[in-house]
Each structure stands twice: as structure tokens, then as C-alpha cells.
Amino acid sequence: MTRAGRPGERRNSPSGAVQSVDRAVSVLEILARRGEAGVTEIADELGVHRSTAFRLLGVLENRGLVGQAGDRGKYHLAAGVLRLAGAAAVRLDVSQEAVPVCRDLADELGETVNAAVPDEDAAVNIMQARGTAAVTAQDWLGRRTALHATSSGKVFLAHMTPARREEQLARPLRRFTEHTVTDPAALRRELEQVPEQGYAATREELELGLVAVASPVRSHDGTVIAAISVSGPVFRMTPDRIPLLGARTTAAAEELSRRMGYGF
């Protein structure tokens, strides 16, 4: 025999942990709409018992996403939400500002140009422009790619704090091709050169036949928040062409950095 839900309780909702996540998000939406609300008000709107609402609020409060307004017992959104929103806003801003910069670079070099942002243990491509010579290039938009095997990823690794970089290099480094650098010591030596030369490069390390170079994009405070990369086939992006591609990519990344407020 099934338990009858409280009046207004959602039916056919997810179960277990997924249901808890769904309810927690609903709590944030309620507070965003109402400004502040008490446990009973939230429980009634969710259609759950007061104890359930209290547990959800406790978890969200521990994570800094909600707070209580003095002695009134009312809850409101807290600074943790601003942190998440700020990170999303930066990503959206980079994506928008990168469009003309990447398109100009793709037109100039004739190759595929991507803008990527770091996402934990990966680089995620958020914008792509194709040059005239890149009509058959692979679509990288939205793909999560390994840090150690991509030019953008190496940029992010090179500009991490030493502790965070070592944490990344302590993980097993997956071999994608025979050219993938999977030895942490060898990768460290390579990463040491990236800040000095201004760009990172990969040669058939993620996919056979693919070469790429990338340069860092900085926010107003100098933090590396993205990377611009140029990629193309090995027969066009030859070793003697890499310094020129690196210089042009660096110039484009510096332009995008200026658009993001760096240098002002």
C-alpha cells in the first residue's frame, strides 16, 4: 500500500538522491522569487513535511547558499549563490567577447580557433571559429578535453598553483596516442616553459594528425580564466610554423584579456 502524499506534493517526481537535489534547487528558486521565507512556508510550497524542508535548508546553509535573517527564522539566498553566479557570468562573458577575436584569428590563419575555459580536470571549449582551410575540422564546441593532452589544458596546468598542479599530475595521465606525454616529470619540464614563451603546444597528443597551440586569457585581476587555441593538421602546422602561430595566438589572447578588463 502506497503512502498518500501531503496535499500539493509533487507526483512522479525523481526518487532518492535525485529527488533531494530537485527539492534543494526548488528551495533556491523559492527564495529567489520571494526574497525570504520560513521553514513552514517553504515546506508548504514544496509539498513536503516541515522536517524535510528543515534538512534541505540545513544542507544549503552549510554550503553557504542560504542564510537566516536574524531572529525571525526567515531564510534568504546567501553569498554562495553569488559565487556560483559570478563563475557562470565570467564564462558567458568570455564566450561572448571571444567571438570577434576568434573569428579574426581564424580568418587570418585559416585554421580552427577555439576558446576554452577550465573545468576541474578538463578544458571545455565554449566558442569555435573555422578558417578557410579548416572546412573539414572536427567540431570541438562543448567538448571536455584532457588537460595534459591539449594545448589549452597545458596552459591551465602551467598557470595553476603548484599544489593544484601537483594534484592534477598525481592522477593517472591517460594515453590517447603514442605521442601523449604521460610522464609527470616530462610534463612538468614542458609546463615550466609555457609562461616564458607565452603559449603551449601539442603535437598529435590528443589525436593523431592534430597539432595545436594555445595562449592564456586573463581576467581583470590577472587570473587565467580561459585560453585561445589554434589547431590544424600536422602537414600544415609544421614545427617551423609553431612560433608564428604561437605569437599570433598570444596576441589574440592578449586582446581578449583586454576585453575582460586585464591591464586597466
Question: Can you tell me the distance from the alpha carbon of 85 to that of 104, in angstroms, rounded to the nearest whole number?
Answer: 30
pLDDT of the residue at 91: 59
Q: What is the pLDDT of residues 135-185, one digit of tens each?
A: 555 666 778 899 999 999 999 999 999 999 999 999 999 999 999 999 999
Using a pLDDT cut of 70, give the percent of the chain over it.
85
Helix (H) or strand (E) holding 211: strand 210-218
Question: CB-based burial of residue 221 (10 Å sphere; 0-12 exposed, 13-18 middle, 19+ buried)?
Answer: exposed
Contact call for residues 47 and 11 (beta carbons, < 8 A):
no
Contact call for residues 44 and 54 (beta carbons, < 8 A):
no
What order of strands is seen across the sheet that includes strand 224-233?
A: 144-146, 122-129, 112-119, 224-233, 210-218, 200-203
CATH of domain 87-259: 3.30.450.40
Helix (H) or strand (E) holding 60: helix 50-62
In one letter, which amino acid is 235? F
Across 204-221, average pLDDT = 94
Whether CATH 3.40.50.300 fits 16-77: no
Using a pLDDT cut of 90, give the percent of the chain over it.
53
pTM: 0.67
For the chain, domain boundaries:
16-77, 87-259
pLDDT of the residue at 144: 87
pLDDT of the residue at 97: 85
Q: What is the pLDDT of residues 72-95, one digit of tens each?
A: 578 888 877 766 665 555 555 788
| Axis crossing angle, helix 151-158 with helix 162-169, rounded to the nearest 10 | 130
